[in-house]
Amino acid sequence: MVIPNLGLSDFRNYKRLEIEFGPRLHFLVGPNGMGKTNLLEALYLCTHLKSYRSAKLNPLIKQGEHRSLIDFHFEDRQVRHLARIELLKQNKRVFLDQKPLRLSSDYIQRFFSILFAPDQLAHFKEFPGQRRAFFDRALSILEPNYFAHLKEFERIKANKTQLLRQGRLAELGPWNKLMAHCIPNLVLPRARLVDELNQKLGGYFSRFSKKGVPLFLIYRPDLNPRDPDEALTLLTQKAPAELAQGFCTLGPHKDNYQVTMGQKMDRVELSQGEYRTAFLSLLFGLNEIFGTRCQIRPLLLLDDLFSELDKEVVKALFGHLEELDNQIFITGTDIPQAFQGAGKRYFVLDGTVEAAPLTI
């Protein structure tokens, strides 16, 4: 997906903004608190139809206003579309080519933004649920039926939870059977994606960090049955314990993903910068898989990319970003030496955005 132009009305600190973009690299530069991240958030909304910073709509609307509009064109497989996202305090409406979009799941299964943002990285680091959500969202695009299976699983789980709360042990059987059949539909694609990522991670990581230690993503399924029968056996064994707890304690909703670097594990042992580099490697690996598996080029939204990264890493990053043909947006308070002269620049000042002249 490529967004050639974007219009904002009453979005965050923007009153009105009309802005044009190129097909590749963009820098959004400016002092703190000027609206760089807000602009990135608007771009994220263009693919995800929701914010990554706020589950509520109200904070997205400019203070004192009652609705905001995000208008944009986008190009997808050589076709140009017009889209509008209208945010009201209580609800949101999306128009695609001037027709109301009925099912946002149809839309978000076609488009994707790869986001790098400090808050999101912190959440990813801290919470297994955030990591699951991250991979689930990617898999919903990468694997044809994944989204449907995920929804199915959630519905089975909700029904089962209801029975567990009411102490209806005898009625769990049918739902455990359905769950047992559903589990491999989630676990196998997850494992497949992690395997594929692991083939790419090392390359990116050594390119960025020059450390020569292997980087791996570990997928730890809570249940990893050989087949639905085995899953059912395990679920059945656990039923009394689940009943005592009153919720579903077993299943893919408890799966975990972890990052290891050499002997070091996860957030506990990895430094800020190391984790950052590891996460970026993961994002770029994912970007590659989007391209090879389904010819999708996500938007790359890299917020505050350069903080906490040393010069060498930044230089190596630049090398890679130059090679990509994604539409890329990078924010920062200034542009590092390595990037001087590259891409399109925009100066963000208090809710206004000024495109810099092409040559400096």
Ligand X SMILES: Nc1ncnc2c1ncn2[C@@H]1O[C@H](COP(=O)(O)OP(=O)(O)OP(=O)(O)O)[C@@H](O)[C@H]1O
Q: Please enumerate, by residue number, every residue annotated as part of a binding site for ATP.
A: 30-37
63 binds, among other proteins, ligand X, Mg ion, none (CB under 5 to 8 A by kind): ligand X
13 binds ligand X (CB under 6 A): yes
Would you say 38 or 185 has its CB closer to ligand X? 38
Taking the CA of residue 182 as centre, how many other CA atoms within 13 Å lie in the half-sphere pointing to its CB? Answer: 22
- Residue 75: left (phi > 0), alpha (psi -120 to 50), or beta? beta
345 binds ligand X (CB under 6 A): no
177 binds, among other proteins, ligand X, Mg ion, none (CB under 5 to 8 A by kind): other proteins
Q: Which two tokens stand for residue 327?
A: 């539409």
Q: Which residue has the tokens 């009309």?
A: 18
Distance CA 63, CA 59 (A): 8
> What contacts 289, CB < 8 A, 6 or more positions away?
142, 193, 196, 197, 200
| 3 CB-contact burial (10 Å; exposed 0-12 / middle 13-18 / buried 19+) | buried
Could you say which of 50, 84, 92, 177 contacts other proteins (CB under 8 A)? 177
Distance CA 115, CA 138 (A): 12
Q: What are phi and psi of 67, to 5 degrees?
A: -155, 155
**DSSP code for 109:** T
Selected range binding other proteins among 87-95, 173-181, 187-195, 202-210, rule: CB under 8 A = 173-181
168 binds other proteins (CB under 8 A): yes
Give the contact letters, 23-62, x = binds to Mg ion (CB under 5 A), - = no.
--------------x-------------------------
334 binds ligand X (CB under 6 A): no
333 binds ligand X (CB under 6 A): yes
Say how many residues make up the chain: 360
Distance CA 216, CA 259 (A): 6
62 binds, among Mg ion, other proteins, ligand X, none (CB under 5 to 8 A by kind): ligand X
Strand order, beta sheet including 25-29: 113-116, 299-302, 328-332, 25-29, 344-349, 352-355
Give the contact letters, 56-95, x = binds to ligand X (CB under 6 A), - = no.
---x-xxx--------------------------------
How many other C-beta atoms lie within 10 A of the C-beta of residue 212? 9
Q: Which residues of 253-277 are buried (b: 16+ CB within 10 A; e: fewer)?
A: bebebebbbeebeeeeebeeebbbb
Annotated binding-site ranges: 30-37
Could you say which of 75, 152, 196, 288 contacts other proteins (CB under 8 A)? 152
Q: Which two tokens stand for residue 345?
A: 């620049």
200 binds, among ligand X, Mg ion, other proteins, none (CB under 5 to 8 A by kind): none
Residue ranges in 265-284 that form contacts with Mg ion under rule CB under 5 A: none
91 binds, among Mg ion, ligand X, other proteins, none (CB under 5 to 8 A by kind): none
Would you say 34 or 232 has its CB closer to Mg ion? 34
Give the contact letters, 38-57, x = binds to ligand X (CB under 6 A), - = no.
x-------------------
Q: What does each C-alpha distance from 300 to 8, 26, 190, 319, 321 come to in angstroms?
A: 20, 10, 22, 15, 10
Would you say 160 or 190 has its CB closer to other proteins? 160
List residues binding other proteins (CB under 8 A): 152, 155-156, 158-160, 162-163, 166, 168, 171, 173-175, 177-178
List residues binding Mg ion (CB under 5 A): 37
List residues binding ligand X (CB under 6 A): 12-13, 30, 32-38, 59, 61-63, 304, 333, 348
